[in-house]
């Protein structure tokens, strides 16, 4: 059995898992823990498949259009 992390290391890991972080790469797992628990993600290949699905189903349909519109507005100097 692996040695548990030191208290300071554990605290840093918990900070990364906190929903109090701003939206970004470490804020939310998008359900990865549930996918691992359900056996959907169990190795490198299934993790890659899961990540590609997240890109297609979440980022491409929801977050990427907002980012593209924001980028276009910034290029046009459209602050509104």
Geometric angle at alpha carbon 26, from 5 and 41, rounded to 5°: 80
Per the CB < 8 A criterion, the answer to whether 50 and 40 are in contact is: yes
Rg (CA), the chain: 17
pLDDT score for 46: 95
* Out of 2-6, 16-20, 42-46, 67-71, least confident range: 16-20
Contacts of 47 (CB under 8 A, 6+ apart): 41
Give mean pLDDT, residues 53-79.
84
Give the model's pLDDT for residue 20.
63
Distance CA 47, CA 36 (A): 9
pLDDT at 26 over 50: no
Higher pLDDT, residue 30 or 33: 33
């Amino acid at each position: 059995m692996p040695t548990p992390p030191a208290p300071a290391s554990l605290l840093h890991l918990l900070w990364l898992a906190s929903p109090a972080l701003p939206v970004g790469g470490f804020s939310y797992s998008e359900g990865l823990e549930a996918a691992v628990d359900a056996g959907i993600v169990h190795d490198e290949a299934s993790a890659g498949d899961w990540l590609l699905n997240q890109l297609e189903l979440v980022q491409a349909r929801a977050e990427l259009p907002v980012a593209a519109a924001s980028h276009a507005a910034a290029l046009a100097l459209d602050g509104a």
